[in-house]
Amino acid sequence: MAFLKNISSSAQTDHELVLSYRESGDLKVLGDLYQRYMELVYGVCLKYLKEPELAQDAVMQIFEELVSKLKKHEVENFRGWLHQVAKNHCLMQLRTPKNLKTVELSPLLMQNEQDVHLNGVMDKEQNFQKLEKCIAALPEEQKLMIKLFYLDGKCYNEIVEITGKAWNHVRSSIQNGRRNLKLCMDRKESDSDSYRNRSEESGVQKSI
């Protein structure tokens, strides 16, 4: 992890560096700011991507994203915003075709016990198809919010900009959408269990 050892020498606060970069576009200023949190970003990436090499690549890719993203967004809390950017980047990496069937939703749904219920629902293509159907059945606004946040990897602030909705409204819609997904997946799992039980009973009767 030698690439993490560079320490920012700037005495400016995060907010001052953010403003300075937005005004000047100086990559050295952005580099000074980013170096303060490279270890944090690496930890987030390693948590989701699991492999050190992939995490290191992601750290570099996220810096490249910041070059444009930091100019587009008003960032008050850089550390928190960067954490969300890193998380969203990793989730998008996990949604590439080669990873689609093995990725778990646990990184997406960590906020409450409803989220825990959905852990691993993408482990199998069949379950992923159920999830897609449940998302399609959501009310239009919840469907949009869920797709933007989970499938497109947008952060709350980006969704606010896209939809024009208030931040609290976006958060509420995502939470309600998550809850409805849980209920829908519960029903589909119950239906699948009932179908399997009927099939087994029918098979037993035929063999008698």
pLDDT at residue 192, as a whole number: 62
* Domain co-membership, 145 together with 182: yes
Do 105 and 193 lie in a common domain? yes
- Looking at the chain, the number of H-run helices and the number of E-run strands are 10, 0
Same domain, 65 and 116: no
Phi/psi for 111 (5° steps) reads -85, -25
Closest CA to 90 of 61, 49, 57: 49
Predicted local confidence at residue 74, as pLDDT: 86
Residue 134: left if φ>0, alpha if ψ -120 to 50, beta else—which one?
alpha
Note whether 122 and 171 are same-domain residues: yes
First CA to last CA distance, the chain: 65
Query: In 3-state terms, what secondary structure has residue 192?
Result: helix
- DSSP, collapsed to helix, strand or coil, labels residue 110 as coil
Domain shared by 107 and 73, yes or no = no
Among 55, 79, 94, identify where a domain stops: 94
* Residue 204 falls inside a structural domain: no
- The answer as to whether 90 is a domain residue is yes
Please indicate, yes or no, whether the overall pTM of this predicted structure exceeds 0.75: no
DSSP designation for 168: H
- How many of the other CB atoms lie within 10 Å of CB of 137? 12
Based on the structure, what is the number of domains in the chain? 2
Positions of the chain with pLDDT under 50: 1-3, 5-6, 100-125, 204
- 57: containing domain: 9-94
- The per-residue pLDDT for 109 is 42
